[in-house]
Amino acid sequence: MYLVVKLSALLIIALCDPTNCIVGTIPERTVLIARQAVLIIVMMAFLALQSIVGPFIDPVSNASEWTSRAGYVITSILGIGNVMSKETKAILQGPVLYVYV
C-alpha cells in the first residue's frame, strides 16, 4: 500500500506537469493548481483509507504510515498555497517551510 501511495504521487506530479505535451495548451498556473488539487484529494483519500481499514493492526507501523500520509497531505496543501498567490508563496517558502521541515 505504501508503494502505491508513492507511485500515485509520482505519477500525478509527472503527468500533470506544465511542460508535459499532454497539457501543453492549458495555462501553466491552471495546470499547477489542478495538479495540487488532485494531489490533495488523492492523499486525503489514502489517509482516510489508512485510518479506516487498519487502525489497530500494528500500532507502531500504523503510526508511521499515518504520519507519512499526513505529511503527504500537508505537503500538498503547502504546494497549492505556493501556487495560489505571490504573497503566500513568500510566506510558505520562508518560515512555514523551515518550521515544517
Q: What cell does 79 get?
A: 504546494
Look at residue 51 in the predicted model and tell me its pLDDT: 77
Average pLDDT over residues 18-46: 83
Q: What cell does 55 get?
A: 487502525
pLDDT digits 0-9 by tens, 48-66: 887 787 666 666 777 777 7
Determine contact, residues 15/22, Cβ cutoff 8 Å: yes
pTM: 0.72
Query: Which residues are CB-contacts of 81 (< 8 A; sequence separation ≥ 6)?
Result: 88, 89, 92
| Model confidence band, residue 93 (pLDDT cutoffs 50, 70, 90) | low
- pLDDT at residue 96 above 60? yes
Determine contact, residues 41/77, Cβ cutoff 8 Å: no
Q: Is 20 in a helix, a strand, or coil? A: coil
